[in-house]
Chains A and B, each alone.
Chain A
Amino acid sequence: MSTGDFRPVIWSRFPCDFRGIRLSAILFLVGIVLFRLSVVHAQYPEKPLTLVTPFAAGGSSDLNARVFTSFLSDYLGQAVLIKLVPGQAGQKGTLEAARSAPDGYTLLFTDNYRDQLHKYTFRNDAYDTNRDFVPVARVNYGQIGIIVRAGGIYETWAQLEADARARPGEISMSHSGLWVALFVPMLQLMKDLDLSFKMVPYRGGGPAKAALLAGDADVSMAFPATVVADVEAGLIRVLATAGSERILEGVPSFTEIGLPPTTGYIHRVVMAPTGIAEDRLRVLREAFAQMQGEEAYHRVMTQLGENTEYLDGVDYEAVRIQQSSDYQELAQSLLDQ
């Protein structure tokens, strides 16, 4: 049988030139090869990135992620998709990111409690955050403040502290859930100042604040930005804020009331699985650095009540090591009780 006869029936109605077909087949193959080569040499990232967030939809971390990813995409040249993997106090999402390929296409958005504290509070053999992740960038941080009702009996931290010493375990403190943003600084405060409060859990920061306003709780904690309006309206008073410097006029810092300067910080950090190629990590870090020049990004974050205190991943690594030892001590002191 000659090649000429080997034509599908339908072609016989349309006379065609076999050399043409052969040529186009070769061109097609060459095209594929060139395409593959170009893929190999293409600039990372050449497809959308996935940011795994171990947080539930609607929380402050989710909102932060929605804002910065929509700007970051412009600097990476690719979309950054958020994949919410909440559960097990953040362990599910962290594990998923830890198990993903270190190709720079899967990143993790986390905070210092999930990164450094939870390994001491939740049993976990599946991953080790220090071994499995490298910091890309710290997006921003929040400083917690101690809040009370403005019309209540406490006008200064000193008054509250004196009353707490007089009535250990009787003053109620509302928090937003175990081992997260409000709970951990409260524990640190009780441990470092040797105080005892009655801890009442609520589902999130909103209900915890409501409990304070309603008079169900006597004390709570909040990021000052979330209570600005209540302070202006004369409903809430801030008694102290985290850090060594004062951030509100006339309100003492945590250092002044006898707490270490690192207590009460939440750092929001983007991590990459360990093993990511150096050049890809550099691309990511540069994109974050460049995003800091975007005026609209700062504006939206400020309106959201968040700062944009960016820290490069290399610098954040040092902060991380310090946290690890602090939290181990905290967890140990609780176990000893």
Chain B
Amino acid sequence: MIETLLAGLDAALRIDTFVWISGGLLLGMLMGSLPGFTTSMGMSVLVPISFLVGDPLIGIPFLIGVYKGGIYGGSVPAILISMPGTGASIATVFDGHELTKKGQPRKALEMGLYASVISDLFSDVFTLVMIIPVAAIVLGFGPPEIASVMFLSLVIIAVTSMGPVVKGLLMLCLGVWFGFVGADPFSGMPRYTFGTNELYDGFHLIPMLIGLFALPEIFNAVKEGDISGSSVGRFVGERLRFDELKKSLRTICRSTVIGTGVGLVPGLGQPIAAMMGYIAAKNASKHPENFGKGELDGVAGAEAANNAVNGPTMVPLLTLGIPGDAVTALLLGAFMMQGLRPGPTLLETNGEIVFAILIAMVIANFLFLVLGYISIPLFARVVTIKRSLLIPVTIMLAFSGTYLARSNPFDIVTLIGFGLVGIAARSAKFDVAPMVMGFILGRELEYTFGQTLALAGTDWVRFALTERIGMTAVVLATPIVGVLLGVRMSKFRQRALKGEEA
């Protein structure tokens, strides 16, 4: 294996490979930062380029660059204009935009970049070194285990929400309910669609996010009046200090581990990782009451987790030929078009090229750091644009991005609907974050729970006690974890409530 690795290193150190990776990263960042233009759409448009260049060491690293850049790029509009560019930056918006409002957009963007690069780098190195040993355990994590972890996550969100518990729970349940709308995944029967075809697929995540987070911001800005001359900030704010990054290193490491784990399981994806990374950061924090009010750790927790997913998704893809989502399915196609057939024999037959691609993926992170570093001051300048110009552009991006995602006019209705929900929630002091979390995790829980029931059949006692001990253990631990975290959080919650009264 060492020889193959060295041969791969030799093959990967090519200037044209780096040029193409950089191109991919730039394109990815651009596409990711355009709301509605998701990473999978961008990559799907660029797949023909990757096979037309004809060289696997150019075509595939190029697409990987788009992938990495896209996942990071989504955080830029999330931080600056409260509009997640892709689903992956869903949790970045919670604290990222608050930092912008506090006049610290540059700090938030830099934290997003460093957290992304550090976690991506470590998860890629992990993938490179551990791809063979880890492949065996990937399959041990099936629907029952995912369902139990989703259940645990929902309980953690419920007990750790700040502010009045009832409000948090209500929003969480509402989010879970929104996730039920649409065709039942097991029978195809429509639920809560009121007889319309438009709701058959349920609510789409992108218009929902833009509606909940961006529209209320726009509404507030307009409501404040006199927007002609002012801008969000006169300056792009301070840069991230080294000690601030150091303080968040624990969070970044934790989220890297979470993201890596999520990436190894086919089909979970970045939005779930980002959410779990964010919740974990909040739970471990000494100041959980600051989350959602512009906490740097929140940005770090979310951004590190979503980028850490990228590398490990290669493990099931390359060793078993299993793509978990649209992006990895496109990469599978790209590999096959280059004559490389992902699966158990790939590392034996084409080990050199595979390791070269994985090494290129590791090196891509350094280019990612440089390109991100150069682009941040430019991106951050957005906040100095006059509101009279910025707001119309934001509105345009909100609507065009919503339409772009699926070319579906009904998504515009979804956008406006959730925009109204967001505005109403804000004026009644309800936090919409638990709602989004409930929406994403609840759908996953329902699906995997349904699969678990189908797998268990009638003899579910035997199933739970002999076949799926992992699932049973997590389910049994859930109330204990819930109570422990709930007790720990209650004092912070009181502190937060006092803070609000004061």
Q: Enumerate chain A interface residues (CB-CB to B < 8 A).
A: 56-60, 62-63, 66-67, 69-70, 82-89, 91-92, 96, 121-122, 170, 172, 177-179, 198-204, 206-207, 209-211, 213-217, 226-230, 232-233, 235, 300, 303-305
Contacts and interface: CB of A to CB of B under 8 A. Distances in A.
B265 to A, nearest CB: 9
24 contacts: A57-B44, A58-B328, A58-B329, A58-B330, A60-B329, A63-B47, A63-B333, A67-B337, A84-B406, A87-B200, A201-B454, A202-B267, A203-B447, A206-B267, A206-B322, A206-B329, A206-B332, A209-B321, A228-B341, A233-B345, A300-B51, A304-B333, A304-B336, A305-B336
B140 A214 contact: yes
A209 B267 CA distance: 12
B142 A66 contact: no
B320 interface: yes
B336 A66 contact: no
Interface in B33-57: 38, 40-41, 43-45, 47-48, 51-52
Given A210-B320, A229-B345, A85 B406 contact: yes
3 nearest A-B residue pairs (beta carbon): A229-B343, A58-B326, A233-B344
B329 A59 contact: yes
A108 to B, nearest CB: 14
B396 interface: no
Contacts of A305: 336, 341
User: What size tier do the contact residues of chain B reach?
Assistant: 35 or more
B455 A204 contact: no
Nearest to A86: B406
A39 to B, nearest CB: 28
A233 B321 CA distance: 12
Given A60-B329, A89-B200, A213-B139, 19 more contacts: A57-B40, A57-B326, A57-B330, A87-B408, A92-B408, A96-B407, A177-B185, A198-B457, A199-B454, A201-B185, A201-B451, A206-B267, A210-B322, A211-B143, A214-B139, A216-B455, A226-B321, A229-B342, A303-B339
B325 interface: yes
Nearest to A63: B333
Contact of A228 (B139, B343, B454): B343
A117 B278 CA distance: 44
B375 to A, nearest CB: 25
A62 to B, nearest CB: 6
A91 to B, nearest CB: 7
Contacts of A215: 139
Nearest to B407: A85
Contacts of A82: 45
B338 interface: yes
Contacts of B324: 206-207
A65 to B, nearest CB: 9
A137 B411 CA distance: 33
Contacts of B406: 84-87
A67 B142 CA distance: 33
B344 A57 contact: no
B237 interface: no
Contacts of B245: none
A62 B333 CA distance: 10
A58 B200 CA distance: 21
B266 interface: yes
Contacts of A201: 185-186, 450-451, 454
B139 A229 contact: no
Contact of A203 (B43, B267, B341): B267
A200 B326 contact: no
B454 A210 contact: no
Contacts of B337: 67, 300, 303-304
B408 A85 contact: yes
A170 B142 contact: no
Nearest to B453: A200
B326 A59 contact: yes
Interface string B75-97: 00000000000000000000000
